[in-house]
Structure 1
Amino acid sequence: MTIEPLSRPAATARAPHWEWRYLDLMRRIWTQGDERVDRTGIGTRSLFGETIRFDLSGGAMPLLTTKRVYWKTATRELLWFLTGDTNIRALCAQGVEIWTDWPLDRYRRETGDDIARADFSRRIVEDEAFAEQWGDLGPVYGKQWVDWPTYESAGEEGLFRRGPGVNQVTQVLQSLKTNPGSRRHIIEGWNVAELDAMALPPCHKTYQFHVANGRLSCALYQRSCDLGLGFAFNMWSLALLTRVMAHQCDLEPGEAVWMGGDVHLYLNHAALVEEQLSREPAGEAHMRFGRRPASIFDYRIEDFEVSGYAPQTHIAAPVAV
Structure 2
Amino acid sequence: MATLARPSDSLAETSWEEQYLDLMRRIWTTGDQRVDRTGVGTRSLFGAEIRFDLAGGAMPLITTKRVYWKTATREMLWFLTGETNIRPLVSQGVQIWTDWPLDRFRRETGSAISREEFSDRIVADAEFAARWGDLGPVYGKQWVDWPVYEPQGDGTFRRGPGINQVAQVVDSLCNNPGSRRHIIEGWNVAELPAMALPPCHKTYQFHVADGKLSGLLYQRSCDLGLGFAFNAWSAALLIRMLAQQCDLEPGELVWMGGDVHLYLNHAELVEQQLSRTPRAAPRLEMMRRPASIFDYRIENFQVSGYDPWPAIAAPVAV
> What TM-score range do you get, normalising by the shorter chain?
over 0.9
Alpha-carbon offset, residue 182 of structure 1: 0.3
After superposing on structure 2, the runs of 4+ consecutive aligned residues of structure 1 that deviate more than 2 Å are: 9-18
Alpha-carbon offset, residue 156 of structure 1: 1.5
Q: Tell me whether 1:319 sits opposite 2:312 in the alignment.
A: no
Q: Tell me whether 1:194 sits opposite 2:191 in the alignment.
A: yes
Alpha-carbon offset, residue 8 of structure 1: 1.7
The 3-state SS of whatever aligns with 2:294 is: helix
Alpha-carbon offset, residue 100 of structure 1: 0.2
For the residues of structure 1 that align with 2:57 and 2:271, how far apart are their CA atoms?
31
Q: Tell me whether 1:130 sits opposite 2:128 in the alignment.
A: yes
> 1:52: which partner in 2?
50
For the residues of structure 2 that align with 1:35 and 1:12, how far apart are their CA atoms?
30
> 2:77: which partner in 1?
79
2:98 to 89, 97, 100: 100
For the residues of structure 1 that align with 2:118 and 2:152, how far apart are their CA atoms?
41
The 3-state SS of whatever aligns with 1:207 is: strand
For the residues of structure 2 that align with 1:242 and 1:200, how far apart are their CA atoms?
24
1:187-266 equivalences under 5 Å are 187-266=184-263
Alpha-carbon offset, residue 155 of structure 1: 2.6
For the residues of structure 2 that align with 1:68 and 1:122, how far apart are their CA atoms?
26
For the residues of structure 1 that align with 2:135 and 2:2, how far apart are their CA atoms?
41
For the residues of structure 2 that align with 1:132 and 1:139, how far apart are their CA atoms?
14
Q: Tell me whether 1:43 sits opposite 2:38 in the alignment.
A: no
Percent identical pairs in the alignment equals 75
Counterpart amino acid of 1:97? Q
Preserved CA contact (<8 Å) 1:13 1:23? no
Preserved CA contact (<8 Å) 2:6 2:277? no
Alpha-carbon offset, residue 12 of structure 1: 7.1
Preserved CA contact (<8 Å) 1:13 1:20? no
For the residues of structure 1 that align with 2:236 and 2:145, how far apart are their CA atoms?
23
Q: TM-score by structure 1 length?
A: 0.96
Q: Tell me whether 1:271 sits opposite 2:268 in the alignment.
A: yes
Cα distance change of structure 1 residues 9 and 58 upon mapping to structure 2, 3 Å threshold: closer
> 1:8: which partner in 2?
3
Alpha-carbon offset, residue 10 of structure 1: 8.4
Preserved CA contact (<8 Å) 1:13 1:21? no
Alpha-carbon offset, residue 9 of structure 1: 6.0
> 2:279: which partner in 1?
282
For the residues of structure 2 that align with 1:320 and 1:12, how far apart are their CA atoms?
32
The alignment's C-alpha RMSD in Å is: 1.4
The 3-state SS of whatever aligns with 1:68 is: coil
For the residues of structure 2 that align with 1:194 and 1:227, how far apart are their CA atoms?
26
For the residues of structure 1 that align with 2:129 and 2:47, how far apart are their CA atoms?
38
1:295 to 275, 292, 297: 292
Preserved CA contact (<8 Å) 2:87 2:133? yes
For the residues of structure 1 that align with 2:7 and 2:189, how far apart are their CA atoms?
42
| Structure 1: 5+ residue stretches without partners | 1-5
Preserved CA contact (<8 Å) 2:7 2:277? no
Q: Deviations over 1:49-86 (max 9, x none)?
A: 10000000001011000000000000000000000000
Alpha-carbon offset, residue 11 of structure 1: 7.0
Preserved CA contact (<8 Å) 1:10 1:24? no
For the residues of structure 2 that align with 1:127 and 1:79, how far apart are their CA atoms?
23
Preserved CA contact (<8 Å) 2:2 2:274? no
> 1:3: which partner in 2?
none
For the residues of structure 2 that align with 1:10 and 1:50, how far apart are their CA atoms?
22
Q: Deviations over 1:133-157 (max 9, x none)?
A: 0000000000000000000112322
The 3-state SS of whatever aligns with 1:49 is: strand
Preserved CA contact (<8 Å) 2:185 2:202? yes
For the residues of structure 2 that align with 1:92 and 1:298, how far apart are their CA atoms?
20
For the residues of structure 1 that align with 2:23 and 2:225, how far apart are their CA atoms?
11
For the residues of structure 2 that align with 1:106 and 1:211, how far apart are their CA atoms?
43
Q: TM-score by structure 2 length?
A: 0.97
| Structure 2: 5+ residue stretches without partners | none
For the residues of structure 1 that align with 2:140 and 2:96, how far apart are their CA atoms?
15
